[in-house]
Structure 1
């Protein structure tokens, strides 16, 4: 169950990062509220996951999901570069997160 909470934490981290980008484009209160809720949920689920997962593993997977997911969201919704090198390194980050799961 801890891994489910950790994945949820990573997904909310991605959402929070997307709201930061949206806030730069749309200076209204809605992205601010969603940003706070997204990061709040992310930290809550990370905290729950760290109750039974090692801190180093949980943090590495959480940041990996957030970083790679943020890059993917940027490519899909914010017109960022889709260069093959970016995709390769995103795949490497996700592969490392899966590797940590396999050895934990």
Structure 2
């Protein structure tokens, strides 16, 4: 269950980053609210996950989901570059996260 919570924390991080971009572009109240809600949920869920998953592993996976997810969101929502090198490095982030999961005992 802790791993599901950790993935949700990472997804909330991505949603918060998307809302930061929306706030920067449009200055709408809903984007500011989205930043606060996404960021708060992300940190709250990360806190819960760290109860069962080693802190270093949880933090690395949380930031990996945020980095890869933010980059992928930028590609699809904001037409950022889809260069093959960027995609390769996103894959490396994902492989690293899977490797951490595979080598971490516990939850």
Name the counterpart of 1:21: 21
Q: Shift of residue 69 of structure 1?
A: 0.2
Paired residue for 1:62?
A: 62
The CA deviation string for residues 39-82 of structure 1, in whole angstroms up to 9 with x for no partner, is 10000110000001100000000000000000000000011000
User: Which stretches in structure 1 are left out of the alignment for 5+ residues?
Assistant: none
TM-score when scaled to structure 1?
0.99
Number of residue pairs aligned between Structure 1 and Structure 2? 104
Distance 1:19 1:94 in 2: 23
Question: What is the Cα deviation at residue 28 of structure 1?
Answer: 1.4
Structure 2 distance, partners of 1:29, 1:72, is 25
Scaled by the length of structure 2, what TM-score is found? 0.96
Q: Give the match for residue 97 of structure 1.
A: 97
| RMSD of aligned alpha carbons | 0.5
Secondary structure at 1:80 match in 2: coil
Structure 2 gap segments, 5+ residues each: none
Write the mapping of 1:19-98 to structure 2, written as runs, cut at 5 A. 19-98=19-98
